[in-house]
């Protein structure tokens, strides 16, 4: 019973830690997908010759719901300038197994064999696996031949749960020129920039860019969404309650061990008369408590991690934004539980030793009689 109750309290600490750590990692990745740069500014269709962009800014192109052959699937298309993204895009390592530099290098320098290299992000079907050659319909009468050179769980700027094909703007433009089209006229455009919104908007206005100010987004906007804040507060409260429950469980374990020591005073006295030292007796009592604490810790971790894995998919506050949450082992919480178990073991041994030292042999025999 002692092991079960202690394991429940410690398991709550691990459970809360797993949910909090996993959700925080997922929200950080979602934030970089929902808002790919410090400032995101949608542009209207070009009507006049535009000037140069300010430093620390890049233009990307986006098109949604494109037919992809073979397979008849639907995907979005994002055109970027790989040499300009570093230092601007808000990348999170959870978005892909490969670092951003390698993905961008594959877009800019990859050998497409006459096709446009693309990175496939999101829930990509088997037809769009790495190495597959595809045709992306950009309009009713023309299509762009592409080849998938890398995969990612999601990519900054991805607007939906549809697969996203990320291409190099220049290489895509070269392919569109064959059909007599220009990328800036085919795709919706956005400016991604590092820094503050106000100076960027002023610079874009001076360069004659048509800006849709109603769609301007900033890097901190995602964290301020009500559903995101509600989840963060709820998990913070759960973590605080779990820490309190864990502390109470360990205190109860230490007090139980001390009570057991008082019940064993007769046996301890007899063993001391047979030559067993006080240190050996204290070590035996501490070892008993340590075994109980270790068993409770193992049970807590073994139960809490699968339980949190089952609950975690239900805690996605923004399911429309990729990637979904994945379980992160809460090593910090596990370490805290292990440290608490060691502390409880030491405290129990100290309390037991003091209780044994305050009890005389005559008193023990009188109580026993």
Dihedral-angle region of residue 52 (phi above 0 means left; psi in -120 to 50 means alpha; beta otherwise): beta
Mean of the per-residue pLDDT values of the chain:
85
**Of 1-10, 135-144, 158-167, 344-353, which one has max mean pLDDT?**
158-167
Tell me the chain's radius of gyration from C-alpha atoms. Answer: 31
User: HSE on the CB side for 258, CA within 13 Å?
Assistant: 16
C-alpha separations of 130 from 66, 111, 124, 133, 328 in Å: 19, 13, 10, 9, 27
CA distance 57 to 40: 10
Mean pLDDT of 98-121: 89
This prediction's pTM: 0.81
pLDDT tens per residue, range 177-191: 887 788 877 889 999
Q: What is the pLDDT of residue 82?
A: 94
Chain segment 212-264, per-residue pLDDT in tens? 888 899 988 999 999 999 999 999 999 999 999 999 988 888 777 777 665 55
Span 271-275, average pLDDT: 53
Taking residues 292-319, report their average pLDDT: 92
354: part of which helix (H) or strand (E)? helix 331-358
Q: What is the arithmetic mean of pLDDT over 144-173?
A: 93
Q: What is the pLDDT of residue 91?
A: 95
User: What pLDDT, on a 0 to 100 scale, did the predictor assign at position 283?
Assistant: 59
The tokens 């300009």 sit on which residue? 84
Please state the rounded mean pLDDT for residues 116-125.
91
Backbone angles phi, psi at 267, to 5 degrees: -65, -40
Distance between CA 311 and CA 283 in Å, rounded? 41
The predicted pLDDT at position 25 comes to 94
More confident residue, 355 or 195: 195
Task: Sketch the domain layout of the chain as residue ranges.
Answer: 2-31+225-368, 37-218
Distance CA 352, CA 285 (A): 8
273/367 Cα distance (integer angstroms) = 18
């Amino acid at each position: 019973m002692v092991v079960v109750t202690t394991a429940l309290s410690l398991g709550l600490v691990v459970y809360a830690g797993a949910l909090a750590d996993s959700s925080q990692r997922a929200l950080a990745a979602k934030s970089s997908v929902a808002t790919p740069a410090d400032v995101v500014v949608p542009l209207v269709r070009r009507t006049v010759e535009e000037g140069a962009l300010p430093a620390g800014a890049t233009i990307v192109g986006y098109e949604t719901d494109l037919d992809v052959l073979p397979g008849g699937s639907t995907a979005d298309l994002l055109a970027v300038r790989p040499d300009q993204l570093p230092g601007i895009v808000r990348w999170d390592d959870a978005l892909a197994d490969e670092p951003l530099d390698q993905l961008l290098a594959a877009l800019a320098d990859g050998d497409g064999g006459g096709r446009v290299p693309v990175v496939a992000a999101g829930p990509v079907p088997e037809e769009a696996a790495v190495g597959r050659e595809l045709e992306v319909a950009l309009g009713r009468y023309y299509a762009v031949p592409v080849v998938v050179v890398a995969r990612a769980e999601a990519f900054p700027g991805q607007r939906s749960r549809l697969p996203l094909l990320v291409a190099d703007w220049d290489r895509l433009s070269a392919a569109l020129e064959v059909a007599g089209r220009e990328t800036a006229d085919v795709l919706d455009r956005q400016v991604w920039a590092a820094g503050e919104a106000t100076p960027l908007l002023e610079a874009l206005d001076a360069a004659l860019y048509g800006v849709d100010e109603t769609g301007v987004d900033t890097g901190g906007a995602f964290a301020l969404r009500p559903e995101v804040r509600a989840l963060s507060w709820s998990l913070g409260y759960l973590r605080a309650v779990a820490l309190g429950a864990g502390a109470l469980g360990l205190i109860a374990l230490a007090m139980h061990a001390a009570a057991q020591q008082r019940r064993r005073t007769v046996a301890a006295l007899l063993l001391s008369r047979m030559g067993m030292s006080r240190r050996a007796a204290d070590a035996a009592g501490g070892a008993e408590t340590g075994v109980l604490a270790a068993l409770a810790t193992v049970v807590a971790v073994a139960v809490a991690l699968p339980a949190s894995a089952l609950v975690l998919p239900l805690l996605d506050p923004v399911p429309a934004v990729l990637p979904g949450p994945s379980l992160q082992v809460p090593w910090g919480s596990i370490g805290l539980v292990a440290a608490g178990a060691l502390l409880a073991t030491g405290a129990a041994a100290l309390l037991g030793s003091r209780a044994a030292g305050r009890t005389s042999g005559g008193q023990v025999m009188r109580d026993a009689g």
